[in-house]
Amino acid sequence: MVELGSTSLTIVAVIAAVGVASLLVAAVLRRQVLAAGEGTESMREIARAVQEGASAYLSRQFRTLAIFAVVVCALLFLLPGDAGIKVGRSVFFLVGALFSASIGFLGMWLATRANLRVAAAASLPGGRAEGARIAFRTGGVVGMSVVGLGLLGAAAVVLLYRGEAPGVLEGFGFGAALLAMFMRVGGGIFTKAADVGADLVGKVEQGIPEDDPRNAATIADNVGDNVGDCAGMAADLFESYAVMLVAALILGKAAFGEEGLVFPLIVTTVGALVAALGVAITKVRGSESGLTAINRGFYISALVGVVLAAVAAFAYLPSSFADFTGGTAGLEDHVGDPRVVASLAVAIGVVLAGIILWVTGYFTGTTSKPTLHVAKTTLTGAATVVLSGIGVGFESAVYTAGIIAAAICGVFLIAGGNVALALFLIALAGCGLLTTVGVIVAMDTFGPVSDNAQGIAEMSGDVSPEGAQILTDLDAVGNTTKAVTKGIAIATAVLAATALFGSYADAVRTSLADVSGTIGDDLVAAMMTYDIISPVTLVGVILGGATVFLFSGLAIDAVTRAAGAIVFEVRRQFRDFPGIMTGETRPEYGKVVDICTRDSLRELATPGLLAAFAPIAVGFGLGVGPLAGFLAGAIGSGVLMAVFLANAGGTWDNAKKIVEDGHYGGKGSDAHAAAVIGDTVGDPFKDTAGPAINPLIKVMNLVSVLIAPAVVVISVGDDANHVARLSIAIVATAIAFGAVIMSRLRAARVDREGSVAYEAEKALAS
């Protein structure tokens, strides 16, 4: 067991204090946002409807997830290990889930109050700068809260459990990741069902603007932006923060003892200072683009983060690998200064974030060649728009995956080929990337706040033409920042999953060392091997990749079903209440919000059960070697799929913006109708399935780390019990595929209901 000295304990206590200070900074920024003017009564009325819908949805979602969290917490007690660690792991599982939920709720709560303030500011003198400031500082509140709660939770675990902290932090990270995945999936289904339904009926069928108050789905659409993009992404980035720390501390403790346990916390503490700096210096100057100001703030704060992390490395780490207090896993003879090596790893992570920011902006920005190309294809119809967007998505996925792979190779090279050191440095690179997490969250929240502000302005009609154009420009910037932050979140997920891969190997190695007796026959030995050439390991790789595809398909299909219900409801209201089109009758907004809430929560269980039980089925059914292959397949296919979905969707969205700005015929033209179709295809890509893959691969990795000791114990040695092992695998498989089958049956029922609704529409029309 690693003991922490008084100096290290003091540092960890200071880190906890920095976490508290970050929360105080968030409170100050929150007060600044809420001090801005709220606009007209009409704006406030629309905003209240969005606030009520978002709060009602999240409240129902949290009540549903609370039951699931309690069940998982109880199941964690069944895993092998020291009783004290099991209690701590289960308790901090709930803490991680609570923190993730709190971040999500905070993001939603403040965004639904900042949106009308941005709308109100747009018509004032200096409206562009003031609107951008309010939107970005709203994100700054969430960003500082992510950093604060992440540092506070991790530091508390280290202070309480000292050298045993990594085992407890597994529960903390698992709770954060599991809840974030559910919030991502549920919020994504809600927001895209409303968005797709609103666009297909409002824009395409009725020919009215996107946020026209006559469209019954507009309130639900604005609610969805907050529960999907604000709450979902905030929870997603918080769990990335927590999971990366888990991986770094596990690997750091194994390779470097005390210093390896504390240094990752120091690096992420630098992120608190960087976040505060980034929020403070991001200001729009004159008539410049909001994106220019945001990029400037990001790059300056990222550079400062690299410098501060290097200072921390030289101040805390020893100058030789032989001088670490813990076991260094054969690194005593490693050539090089560990302070330099650690600083380079952090720098690679920060540079990776900057490059992905640029690459994603290139593929999705309104002035970039790929997006301009997709916009031009609107002249030849919806099919070419869809095809060109898919092509851009596929191409961008290759470049992004290659950049992430190059970063991992770079870390491997500075580690001199030592796998243990390389895995720890990959985790440090991830921590380096996450020094910018506060700014990244602010960039992401900027998008839905600007989008909602434009919606409120259009629905109220109380914003000047100049203000409306400012809000349109900010919305376009928000589309790009959302795409950029999704790219960075994907890179974070890959680095975290790769580092967790090392944590998984450490868990297996430790468990095998504790096994009494022989491993068993050749079949059992094959289950324990990591050889990629082994057929059963390759089976695991295939199953891991297939799980990502199945998960993505389920998420997109869920949006399809929910959006279909919205289409029928909005059509019904236009048909049954002719006064809606003349403005004499108010649409029944609440009914659409209720449908979105019901359908998104109903669809929530299937992807979650698949993510949790697929690794259990593979691990207990095939062994730890194939389970390692399963994780590798999930990571490889996950990064490509997530980037493809996110960037294709972002490109379609901004191509639509280009057409709506007057190009190729502008609003109401055939090109516009084609662009809307592309955008509606891309909506579930970029805002439901794509972002949910990030927590998916981390949930599956963490489940694997948690069950690895149990798989080893039940598979080899004197305590082997193959009947129990196979029984667990069969039950897990039944739960995972049972959920998928139930989803298929639900889809068939919805199809029948849709056919009945369609026939009723035809009868009424005739």
State the Cα–Cα distance between residues 566 and 595, nearest whole angstrom: 7
State the Cα–Cα distance between residues 98 and 47, nearest whole angstrom: 27
Q: Are 587 and 580 in contact (CB under 8 A)?
A: yes
**pLDDT, average across residues 467-489:** 76
| 247 contacts: CB under 8 Å, gap ≥ 6 | 427, 430, 496, 499, 500, 502, 503
147-151, 255-259, 565-569, 694-698: least confident range: 255-259
- H/E run at residue 380: none
Rounded to 5 degrees, what are φ and ψ at 661? -80, 0
- The pLDDT of residue 458: 78
32-46, 454-468, 525-539, 742-756: least confident range: 742-756
- The pLDDT of residue 581: 80
Counting every residue, how long is the chain?
766
| Residue 485 identity (one-letter amino acid) | T
Q: Are 360 and 298 in contact (CB under 8 A)?
A: no
- Checking if the pLDDT of 539 tops 60, the result is yes
427-436, 552-561, 710-719, 731-740: least confident range: 710-719
Identify the band that residue 387 occupies on the pLDDT scale cut at 50, 70 and 90.
very high
Identify the band that residue 338 occupies on the pLDDT scale cut at 50, 70 and 90.
confident
pLDDT digits (tens, 9 = 90+) for 278-331: 888 877 776 667 677 777 888 888 888 889 989 988 988 887 777 666 655 556
Q: What is the pTM of this model?
A: 0.83
Identify the band that residue 524 occupies on the pLDDT scale cut at 50, 70 and 90.
low
pLDDT digits (tens, 9 = 90+) for 158-178: 888 877 777 788 888 888 888
482-491, 630-639, 656-665: least confident range: 482-491
* 434 burial type by CB count under 10 A (0-12 exposed, 13-18 middle, 19+ buried): buried
pLDDT digits (tens, 9 = 90+) for 703-754: 888 888 888 888 776 667 778 888 988 999 998 888 888 777 776 666 666 5
DSSP 288: -
Residue that wins the pLDDT comparison between 575 and 329? 575
Q: Where are the domains of the chain?
A: 6-511+554-603+638-688
- Which of 314-318, 415-419, 630-634, 741-745 is the most confident on average? 630-634
- HEC letters along 186-240: HHHHHHHHHHHHHHHHHHHHHCCCCCCCCCCCHHHHHHHHHHHHHHHHHHHHHHH
Identify the band that residue 274 occupies on the pLDDT scale cut at 50, 70 and 90.
confident
Give which of 49, 275, 264, 16 is closest to 146, Cα–Cα.
Answer: 275
State the Cα–Cα distance between residues 710 and 81, nearest whole angstrom: 9
**pLDDT, average across residues 233-252:** 81
pLDDT digits (tens, 9 = 90+) for 64-111: 888 888 888 888 887 776 777 888 888 888 999 899 888 888 888 888
**pLDDT, average across residues 343-360:** 87
- The pLDDT of residue 644: 92
- The pLDDT of residue 4: 66
